[in-house]
Structures are given as structure tokens and as C-alpha cells.
């Protein structure tokens, strides 16, 4: 593995492979990150940055942990650089929400930031945004307009504009945004990256300046789907300091769909599907539908009108009064402290009284029933993330209509408490990216990740605005783990289609992923066993081996283990991501006369040679 300080990918898998192999230190990565930011010049991505001295001190502390046992298990984001939107608190840094008159010095980290730092991540700084997270355009900030890396004349998308551009340009591995109306998905689409909007309440919003507090959620920008799952796995946890946080009792645990096949996805009906005259985006969406069908999906046209009616409630209904709760005092005292477009949007709160709020809630309940019936007939809803994008000049000339158009496919999401992931889906003839959103019922993130990972790989696009492509495939981590199942790594006769696979199936096992181990194992053929079995051991001069990871119901695990004959045993196996999982190993005494087949890379390759 070689490392190019200016061009190599910062995705988590790539960095962890280098860290694991010792070919890269955290200090090396930080040096590269700071140089990349310097070369970007004045791109208006950052509002404030952690001092260089503090960043290097943090990097050296992490480098000192390099030989810690189970390093990536204890620190799943070890040495990973990230950024946060500047409405998210970081201790001893100012939170501005892109409004200097509002700024305050945060006393402690927001809960999500604290969890990321505990997981070994390195904060680089706080990013630019549409003021008070009000807007989807990225032009509503006194700190300038973050530069769209694909075309400087076009908007970067908002409100989490700087967070998206920082990831797309390879200046950080991931970033946090917030999403109330689409702020975690629109910038992802316009920057060719992943944008994850989880179910409300799964990630704490404690320590975050609210837009609409009852609707807000933290969003995740990343280069890969797998990275988004890792980040969510670190940050998902009940937070007693956040009254909107979902407790364990409230959460559901959906089954993972490990293979994309036989799924149904809804697409908006022809009367609702619009691209605002952008025929190139329309063509890209049609191609995305074909790609989903090739992955095993069945497209079903659905009535999109109740979703649209829900979307209209967000800014044309009483929920805008929630935005007033945050900034009303400042707006009354010093109205010109607010960006003109933000102030005009929030001033509409004056139209509504308490009766309007209840009328809006009643209307929403009716719409939730309509949309829920539709969502339960499909596995996913698939829409363009945006129907079109705009040059900065168009947005400045027509701020209201362009912002509304950008939210056409996003504004309904949090009112209905759905979860979604925005995915790159192609490049337009003008060089700008196009993206789709895959949407599911609340708590269905696990199922989203399955189809999202497959679609993103099939797109064969570079990540962000870099020239780097996706790293080799490895398992997409379950975020909401099903506590009724245990994972087991199998390396031989228990793999899919091989003679003993039936034992897993009889116990209710399900395939989680086809993957590889970390490069620390040797594989031997024990041909005297019936059927022949491989024996896998950990070794200093080992290699990475092809394996499968299965999930077994906990109550059946003991039944299965009873069938494991000596000298095989169950121990801990490190996957290529560094993640530990229970798995088949072999007692070394039995390998004295066995054949070393390690260089073949796995048991299937050995069987092909028989």
C-alpha cells in the first residue's frame, strides 16, 4: 500500500488499513489534511478551526496508542479526521450558527461530538452553513458561500454546506450536519457524497442550536455507505440530556437485508415527478431506476401527493414558529443581524397562532396515516434528492422559489419521521453530480444500508470531487444490532453452498456478509477430516482470507457449537476492517501434517483446484 498525501482517499477503511499495516501514522494523516485545506485557499468552508498545535497534540496521543490491544475495537474511529457544522457545540469553541451576533462560547461538547472523540476521531474544525440552518442553498451566510468543487458558479447546497464540501474535497473523512428540511441530503447530492438522515431521536441533538427542535436530527456526510454506518454505530445511543432522544424501549430492531433481491421500491407518480425542466437530471433518475432494477428491485409507481402535501406544511404551516423560538429574541432586537432570506422565512411565524398549530398537527396526523399506508406496500421510496440544481446567480435572484424547489423531495421527511440516505447516482453533462434518496420507515436504517451499499458500488463513481474510487467491499456494519443474534465467521465447509452450510440454516442462521479477514491468518487443508475441513490460525506472517459472517439466533448458538468437532474451536477473528467477531479457528497441534493453502486466499479457491 502506498500513500499519496494530497490525493489518497480518507475513507475510514483505507486509513485503517494503513494504520493497521504501520504504513501511516495519525500525524502523517493530519499533516496531509492541513496541507489539503491550505491548498484549497479561501473556499469559505470553515467558520473556525481547531488550532494546529491542538490537532497535532491529539494526533501524537493517538499515535502513542497504536500498539493497544484490540485498537480498532476500542477506538472504532481511530485517527479519523472530521468536521462539524457550526450549530453543533464543541467545548471552548464558539458556536455561531453562521450569525456573529448570536455567537457564544460552548462550555462542553455536544453529545455526538463527545462520542466521536471518545471513539478516536480527530476534530479539524467547524464548518460554514446557511444561517440558523434555514435554507437548502448554501448562500445564506455572512462567512461567504462555500465553493462548489464541481463548478464554482453553482451553489454547494445547504444548510450543511461547508460540512459537505469538506468531505467532497478530501479535507476530512466525514462530517456532521443537521437535517430538518433536507440539509443533510441536498448538499450530499450536490457534492457527490453520502448523506445519512437517521430516524429522529436515534442521534442526540443535545448541544445543538435547534432549527425546529421537534423535527431536527443530526446528519452524517461520508465518502462511503460503510463509513456512514460506522459513524452512526458510534453515535447512536440514548441520551438522558436530550428529551427527544429515543430510549431503547422505543426503538425497533429491523432485520438486515444482506442481499439486494426481490425488493419493492416506490417512485413518485408521473403527475408528481418533476425536474423543473432539467432533462439531464430526469435522464439520470431514469438510469438510477434501471440500476435498482438490475440489483433485484421492482419499481412501483406510488401516489406522491400526500408526501407533497406534508412537505408544504414545513414552511407554509405553523412549524415555522419553532424556528422563531430560537432566534425570535435576536430578530426583534437586531433584525439586521439575520441574513435577509433567513429573516424573511422566519418572519412568516407571525401569521400563526396556537389554533393554527393544532390545526396543523391534525392535518399532519391525517397525512401520516395516508403516507404510512403507502410506505407499507413497498420496502423503500426512491426519489431524486433534488430535481435540479442552480447557479448562485439564480438563487440570489430568486431565493424563495429556488429554495422551495430544492426541498421538493426532502421537506416531508422529518414531519413523517422517515429515515433516508442520499446516494451519488451519476454525473450530468455539465459536470455536476446527480443523486437519489432511498427512504424507509423509521428505524429501518439497517435495510437502507443494504441497498445503498449495493447501489453505490454499482454506480462506479469517484468519491466526492476526488479521483478516488470506493475501497474493496467489506461488510456494512449493523447500526441497530439485533440483540437476538450472534455473529460467527466461517471459513470452510459451513460457507454458502458447501456441505455443512445446512447446519447454519437449520439453526436459523442468516448470511450477514461475504468479506475477508485481517492479514494475520494462515489456512491449512485437513484432508483427513470428512468432509475435508480448513484449519485457520493466527500467525505473524499471515495473509487475508476469504470468509463469510453469519448471524445465528442466540438460543441456537449452543446447539450449533455442540456440532463443532475437535480440533476446531470458536475464538475471535479480526475482519479486514479490524472489527472482532467470533469465528472458527483450529488448535495448532492438528496442523502438523496439514497442507498450507494460505496463499490461495481461501477455502473455495482450494476446492476449485481439487
Query: What pLDDT sits at residue 3?
Result: 85
Residue with cell 429556488: 402
Q: Tell me if 554 is assigned to some domain.
A: yes
pTM over 0.85: no
183 is catalytic: yes
**Same domain, yes or no, for 425 and 513?**
no
Phi, psi of 408, deg, nearest 5: -55, -40
Q: Tell me if 479 is assigned to some domain.
A: no
Domain boundary among the residues 425, 442, 459 is at 459
**Same domain, yes or no, for 426 and 551?**
no
Q: Tell me if 178 is assigned to some domain.
A: yes
Q: Tell me if 3 is assigned to some domain.
A: no
Cell numbers found for residue 208: 445543538
Q: Tell me if 471 is assigned to some domain.
A: no
Given 85, 197, 230, 246, the catalytic residue:
85
Q: Tell me if 474 is assigned to some domain.
A: no
> Residue 20 to residues 524, 540, 609: CA-CA distances in angstroms?
24, 13, 32
Q: Could you tell me the CATH number of the domain that includes residue 542?
A: 3.10.490.10
48 is catalytic: no
Domain boundary among the residues 459, 474, 495 is at 459
**Same domain, yes or no, for 420 and 508?**
no
**Same domain, yes or no, for 412 and 496?**
no
**Same domain, yes or no, for 495 and 438?**
no
Residues 6+ apart with CB under 8 A from 111: 204, 206, 207, 239, 241, 242
Helices and strands (H, E) in the chain, number of each type: 19, 21
Given 159, 161, 204, 245, the catalytic residue:
159
Range of the domain at 512: 485-608
**Same domain, yes or no, for 538 and 399?**
no
Query: What pLDDT sits at residue 248?
Result: 60
**Same domain, yes or no, for 155 and 88?**
yes
Strand positions, DSSP E, 76-155? 81-85, 94-95, 104-105, 122-127
Quote the CA–CA distance of 379 and 184 in Å, as a whole number: 22
Asked if residues 517 and 525 have their Cβ atoms less than 8 Å apart, the reply is no
Instruction: Report which of 161, 166, 185, 177 is spatially closest to residue 217, judged by C-alpha positions.
Output: 177
**Same domain, yes or no, for 220 and 338?**
yes
**Same domain, yes or no, for 557 and 452?**
no
**Same domain, yes or no, for 522 and 430?**
no
Phi, psi of 503, deg, nearest 5: -65, -35
Domain boundary among the residues 459, 476, 503 is at 459
Quote the CA–CA distance of 136 and 157 in Å, as a whole number: 6
**Same domain, yes or no, for 549 and 452?**
no
Given 8, 183, 222, 245, the catalytic residue:
183
Residues 6+ apart with CB under 8 A from 439: 380, 381, 382, 383, 413, 418, 419, 420
Asked if residues 431 and 422 have their Cβ atoms less than 8 Å apart, the reply is no
214 is catalytic: no
553: β partners: 485
Q: Tell me if 184 is assigned to some domain.
A: yes
For residue 30, give the 3-state DSSP assignment.
Answer: helix
Quote the CA–CA distance of 545 and 566 in Å, as a whole number: 22
Quote the CA–CA distance of 603 and 599 in Å, as a whole number: 11
**Same domain, yes or no, for 273 and 155?**
yes
Q: Could you tell me the CATH number of the domain that includes residue 69?
A: 3.90.1300.10
**Packing angle of the helix pair 445-459, 225-235 (nearest 10 deg):** 150
Asked if residues 585 and 573 have their Cβ atoms less than 8 Å apart, the reply is yes
Q: How many domains does the chain have?
A: 2
Q: Tell me if 375 is assigned to some domain.
A: yes
Query: What pLDDT sits at residue 483?
Result: 67
Query: What pLDDT sits at residue 254?
Result: 47
Residue ranges, the chain, pLDDT below 70: 1, 248-261, 473-483, 577-578
Amino acid at each position: 500500500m502506498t500513500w499519496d498525501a494530497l490525493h489518497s482517499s480518507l475513507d475510514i477503511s483505507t486509513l485503517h488499513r494503513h494504520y493497521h499495516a504501520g504504513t501511516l501514522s495519525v500525524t502523517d494523516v493530519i499533516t496531509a489534511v492541513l496541507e489539503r485545506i491550505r491548498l484549497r485557499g479561501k473556499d469559505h468552508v470553515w467558520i473556525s478551526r481547531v488550532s494546529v498545535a491542538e490537532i497535532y497534540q491529539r494526533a501524537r496521543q493517538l499515535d502513542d496508542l497504536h500498539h493497544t490491544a484490540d485498537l480498532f475495537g476500542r477506538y472504532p474511529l481511530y485517527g479519523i479526521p472530521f468536521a462539524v457544522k457550526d450549530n453543533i457545540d464543541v467545548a471552548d469553541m464558539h458556536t455561531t450558527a453562521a450569525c456573529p451576533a448570536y455567537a457564544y462560547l460552548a462550555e462542553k461538547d455536544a453529545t455526538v461530538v463527545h462520542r466521536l472523540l471518545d471513539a478516536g476521531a480527530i476534530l479539524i474544525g467547524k464548518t460554514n452553513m446557511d444561517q440558523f440552518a434555514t435554507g437548502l442553498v448554501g448562500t445564506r451566510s455572512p462567512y461567504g458561500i462555500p465553493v462548489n468543487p464541481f463548478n464554482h458558479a453553482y451553489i454547494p447546497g445547504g444548510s450543511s454546506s461547508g460540512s459537505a464540501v469538506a468531505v467532497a474535497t478530501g479535507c476530512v473523512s466525514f462530517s456532521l450536519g443537521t437535517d430538518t428540511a433536507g440539509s443533510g441530503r441536498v448538499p450530499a447530492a450536490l457534492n457527490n457524497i453520502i448523506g445519512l438522515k437517521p430516524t429522529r431521536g436515534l442521534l442526540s441533538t443535545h448541544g445543538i442550536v435547534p432549527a425546529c427542535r421537534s423535527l431536527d436530527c443530526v446528519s452524517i456526510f461520508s465518502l462511503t455507505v460503510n463509513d456512514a454506518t460506522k459513524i452512526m454505530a458510534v453515535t447512536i445511543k440514548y441520551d438522558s440530556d436530550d428529551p427527544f432522544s429515543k430510549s431503547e424501549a422505543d426503538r425497533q430492531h429491523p432485520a438486515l437485508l444482506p442481499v439486494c433481491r426481490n425488493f419493492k421500491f416506490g417512485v413518485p407518480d408521473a403527475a408528481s415527478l418533476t425536474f423543473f425542466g432539467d432533462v439531464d437530471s430526469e435522464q439520470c433518475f431514469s438510469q438510477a431506476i434501471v440500476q435498482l432494477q438490475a440489483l433485484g428491485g421492482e419499481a412501483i409507481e406510488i401516489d406522491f401527493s400526500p408526501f407533497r402535501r406534508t412537505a408544504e406544511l414545513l414552511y407554509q404551516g405553523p412549524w415555522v414558529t419553532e424556528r422563531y423560538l430560537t432566534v425570535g429574541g435576536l430578530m426583534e432586537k437586531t433584525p439586521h443581524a439575520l441574513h435577509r432570506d433567513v429573516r424573511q422565512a422566519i418572519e412568516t411565524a407571525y401569521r400563526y397562532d396556537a389554533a393554527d398549530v393544532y390545526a396543523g398537527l391534525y392535518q399532519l396526523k391525517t397525512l401520516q396515516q395516508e403516507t404510512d399506508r403507502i410506505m407499507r406496500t413497498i420496502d423503500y421510496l426512491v426519489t431524486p434528492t433534488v430535481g435540479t440544481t442552480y447557479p448562485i446567480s439564480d438563487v440570489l435572484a430568486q431565493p424563495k422559489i429556488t429554495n422551495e424547489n430544492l426541498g421538493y423531495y426532502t421537506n416531508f421527511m422529518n414531519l413523517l419521521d422517515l429515515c433516508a440516505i442520499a446516494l451519488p447516482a451519476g454525473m450530468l453533462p455539465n459536470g455536476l453530480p446527480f443523486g437519489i434518496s432511498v427512504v424507509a420507515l423509521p428505524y429501518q436504517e439497517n435495510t437502507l444500508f443494504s441497498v445503498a451499499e449495493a447501489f453505490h458500488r454499482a454506480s462506479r463513481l469517484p468519491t466526492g470531487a476526488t479521483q478516488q474510487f470506493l475501497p474493496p467491499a467489506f461488510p456494512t456494519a449493523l447500526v441497530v444490532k439485533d440483540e437476538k443474534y450472534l455473529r460467527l465467521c466461517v471459513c470452510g465447509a459451513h460457507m454458502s453452498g458447501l456441505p455443512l452450510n445446512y447446519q447454519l440454516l437449520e439453526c436459523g442462521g442468516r448470511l450477514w456478509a461475504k468479506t475477508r479477514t485481517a492479514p494475520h491468518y494462515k489456512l491449512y487443508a485437513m484432508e483427513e477430516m470428512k468432509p475435508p475441513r480448513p484449519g485457520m490460525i493466527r500467525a505473524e506472517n499471515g495473509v487475508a482470507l476469504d470468509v463469510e459472517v453469519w448471524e445465528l439466533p442466540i438460543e441456537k448458538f449452543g446447539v450449533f457449537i455442540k456440532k463443532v468437532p475437535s480440533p476446531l474451536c470458536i475464538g475471535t477473528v479480526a475482519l479486514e476492517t479490524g472489527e472482532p467477531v467470533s469465528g472458527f479457528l483450529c488448535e495448532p497441534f492438528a496442523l502438523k501434517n496439514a497442507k498450507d493453502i494460505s496463499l490461495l486466499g481461501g477455502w473455495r479457491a482450494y476446492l476449485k483446484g481439487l
